Structure 1
Amino acid sequence: MKVLVATEKPFAPVAVEGIRKEIEGAGNELVLLEKYTDVAQLLAAVKDADALIVRSDKVTPAVLDAAANLKIVVRAGAGYDNIDTEYAKGKGVVVENTPGQNSNAVAELVFGLLVYAVRNFYNGKAGTELKGKKLGILAFGNVGRNVARIAKGFGMDVYAYDAFCPKDVIEESGVHAVGSQDDLFKECDIVSLHIPATAETRQSINYALVGQMKKGGIVINTARKEVVNEPELLKLMSEREDLKYITDIKPDADADFAKFEGRYFSTPKKMGAQTAEANINAGIAAAKQINAYFNEGCTKFQVNK
């Protein structure tokens, strides 16, 4: 089988070697398309591929139509909104992600950004501490659980809401479970977003929801840009000079948010999974999942059933 690794932003060399060891060790062929600059290069490379590993690369209907032999696509990471999963399903192509492989990296980034924010971006003025503050975690999956673990080390009071995670599971982790998103935003000083971009969540972080936060509230988004209603958040921040918005996903309205000096920060690019460890973990997990699919028909991590 031919396995194509198509990465506009390549894996680290050590991750590529790990992927190669897994794929070639199982008797399959590995082909690399790195730092490509035009989708035509991807369309040409995928024509005879049986499997595809991507990072944030877009797998569109055009890509899927060009890949006559394609059987499986694995997104090396948790989020998979860069892949047209329904179109893939219609063509009989399995789509998988690698949940949990980047979760600690994202959780650590949350606290790197939070310390920066509460210390006023290190501008020399007195800030605040995280100890004793109420942290709300919106979605209690792999990343959310790691955020809770680290927050306890800071001495924070941790709350969570997840529509799909039972209350007792959240509370077994030593976290307060609340009954709704509204309750989370009303109760907490800081809310960290870890929801996927779905039909239900897109634009859900809006004026009404965030407006319920206490004075000095902070929203931190290391999830997906699409979950934030940017025009409504801009309006709210114009009206409330106490709110801060911190993210590793540059908004479309970056220039407009930038006018809130001392209350807004975005990294230049998405940074959640940008650690050597996460890069290696996700890449090798993707390779192992492809081998498991070809050898055993395993679809444990399929997201388009």
Structure 2
Amino acid sequence: MKVLVATEKPFAKIAVDGIRKEIETAGFELVLLEKYTNKSQLLDAVKDADAIIIRSDVIDAEVLSVAQKLKIVVRAGAGYDNVDLDSATAHNVCVMNTPGQNSNAVAELALGMMVYAVRNFYNGTSGTELMGKKLGIHAYGNVGRNVARLAKGFGMDIYAYDAFCPQEVMKQDGIKVCSSVQELYETCNIVSLHIPATAETKNSIDYALLKNMPKGSLLVNTARKEVINEAELLKLMEERSDFKYLTDIMPARHADFIGKYAERYFSTPKKMGAQTAEANINAGIAAAQQIVGFLKDGCDKFRVNK
């Protein structure tokens, strides 16, 4: 069987070596498509693939329609909104992610952004400290839990809201549980955002939610840009000179944010949460192991489509 690694942004060599070892030890063939520049290259490469490992690469209905032998797609990372799940299901293709493999990397970036923000972007002026600040974690999944772990070391007062995580789990971690998303934002000086982009969450971080954050507030987004209502966030920042927004997913209206609020806004040039050597290796090898488990034994533990 042929396993294709299709990565516009390639894995590090050490990660590729680890993937190759897992795939070839299992008796499968590994094919690399790295740094491709147009979709036609992906369409050609996927035609005879039994499995694909991707990163932020888009697997849509067109790709799935030409991949006649395809059985599984694994997204090396937590988010999987770059894969058309309905089309995959229609083509009898299993889709998995690799939850937890990038979590520490994303959490460290979130805390780094908080420090950068409260120290006024290191511009030489007097800032504030994270110690004692009320941190709200919006979604207490793998990344949120790592954010909480790191924030404890800063002496932060930690709150969380997650509609799907049992409150007992958060309480056992020493987290103060909010009963609603509104309560989280009304309570916390800093909110770290970790919700996925779904029909329910897209544009849900809006003016009505953010306007009630305490004075001197900070929103850190290492999740997805689609969850932010950009027009309403711009309106809020116009009204509140005390509000800061930092993100590692460049907004569609980046020019407006940087043009008007450069002293209170920062975005990385591309998504950086998982861009560490460790996360790169962990996610790539986990993806390879999941493919081997699926092709050999039918294990679909991390399946995300029905």
Q: TM-score, normalised by structure 1?
A: 0.99
Is residue 2:45 matched to residue 1:45? yes
Deviation at 1:73, TM superposition (A): 0.2
> What letter corresponds to residue 291 of structure 1 in structure 2?
V
Kindly indicate whether residue 96 of structure 2 is the aligned counterpart of residue 96 of structure 1.
yes
What's the Cα RMSD here? 0.5
The ranges of structure 1 where at least 4 consecutive aligned residues each deviate by more than 3 angstroms after the TM superposition are none
Give the structure 1 partner of residue 252 of structure 2.
252
Whole-Å Cα distance in 2 between the matches of residues 135 and 86 of structure 1? 36
Matched residue type, 1:24: E
1:141 and 1:20 map into 2 onto residues whose CA distance is: 30
Task: Name the counterpart of 2:285.
Answer: 284
Number of aligned positions between the proteins:
305
Could you give the per-residue CA deviations for residues 172-224 of structure 1, whole angstroms, max 9, x where no partner exists?
00100110100000000000000000111000000000111011110000000
Distance in 1, Cα, partners of 2:175 & 2:92: 41
Q: Encode CA deviations 1:34-60: one digit per residue, 9 max, x unaligned.
A: 000010000000000000000000001
1:132-166 deviations in Å (ceiling 9; x for gaps):
00000000000000000000000000000000011
**What residue identity is the alignment partner of 2:256?**
D
1:271 paired with 2:272, answer yes
Task: Quote the residue 1:168 is aligned against.
Answer: 168
Could you tell me how far 1:167 is from its partner in structure 2?
Answer: 1.0
Structure 2 CA distance, aligned partners of 1:135 and 1:144? 11
The equivalences for 1:178-193 within 5 A come to 178-193=178-193
| Percent of residue pairs identical | 70
Distance, in Å, in 2 between the alignment partners of 1:230 and 1:78 is: 23
What is the deviation of 1:261?
Answer: 2.5
**Which has the higher mean CA deviation after the structures are superposed, 255-264 or 15-24?**
255-264
> Structure 1: how far apart are the matches of 2:96 and 2:197?
16
Taking the aligned partners of 1:33 and 1:167, their CA distance within structure 2 comes to 44
Residue 237 of structure 1: SS of its match in structure 2?
A: helix
1:261 is aligned to: 262
Q: Which amino acid in structure 1 is aligned with residue 278 of structure 2? A: E
Q: Specify the SS of the correspondent of 1:219.
A: strand
> Quick one: which amino acid aligns to residue 115 of structure 1?
V
SS in 2 for 1:164: coil
- Measured against aligned partners, the alpha-carbon deviations of 1:55-111 in whole angstroms (never above 9, x if no partner) come to 000001010011000000000000000000111001100000000000000000011
Name the counterpart of 1:231.
231
> What is the distance in 1 between the residues matched to 2:111 and 2:166?
26
2:261 is paired with a residue whose SS is coil
Amino acid at match of 2:91: K
TM-score, scaled relative to structure 2 = 0.99
Alignment correspondent of 2:122 = 122
Whether 1:157 and 2:150 are equivalent positions in the alignment is: no
Q: Distance in 2 between matches of 1:56 and 1:288?
A: 19
SS of the equivalent of 2:79 reads: coil
Q: Which amino acid aligns with 1:285?
A: A
Measure the CA separation in 1 of the matches of 2:263 and 2:152. 26
Q: Letter of the aligned partner of 1:284 in structure 2?
A: I
Q: Which residue of 2 aligns with 1:198?
A: 198
